[in-house]
Amino acid sequence: MPAFRHPHRVVYSECTLGNHIYYGRFLDLFEEARGEFLRSMGLPFLALQERGLILPVLEADVRYAAPVRYDDLIHVEVTPTILGRLRLEFAYRVMGPADDVRVTGRTLHVATNLEDRPQRLPPDLVAALGAIA
């Protein structure tokens, strides 16, 4: 199955004086795309949270290949890469207007309840992601 692609138009508030996205904002873009990916499967973050599940980040990596600039229409690709009983990893590729890779990254998550106690990923999430991963 191909990666989920989330479009994003770069807004001025995301940029530095040098007219490119501030490096830390890519984690925001990853979260935005990851949330839309789960929403597309009928499992938005809010529904999971209402069931007592959150997915805090344990690790995050970002690698920068080329700048992304103000008003660029980009796509953030999301692919689940690890699916365990408690852990879940996503890989990301930020594609520029010419569909060239500008940034790559990954986030590793652990499933917890609202009191930060580890818990198993719910079967419906595992089933939905298992068909993809």
User: What average pLDDT does this structure show over 62-89?
Assistant: 96
Q: In the chain, what are the domains?
A: 4-130 (3.10.129.10)
| Residues 10, 7: Cα–Cα separation, whole Å | 10
Q: What is the pTM of this model?
A: 0.93
pLDDT digits (tens, 9 = 90+) for 7-57: 999 999 999 999 999 999 999 999 999 999 999 999 999 999 999 999 999
Compute the radius of gyration of the chain from its Cα atoms.
Answer: 15
User: Residue 76 forms beta bridges with which residues?
Assistant: 6, 94
Residue 42, number of CB atoms within 10 A of its CB: 9
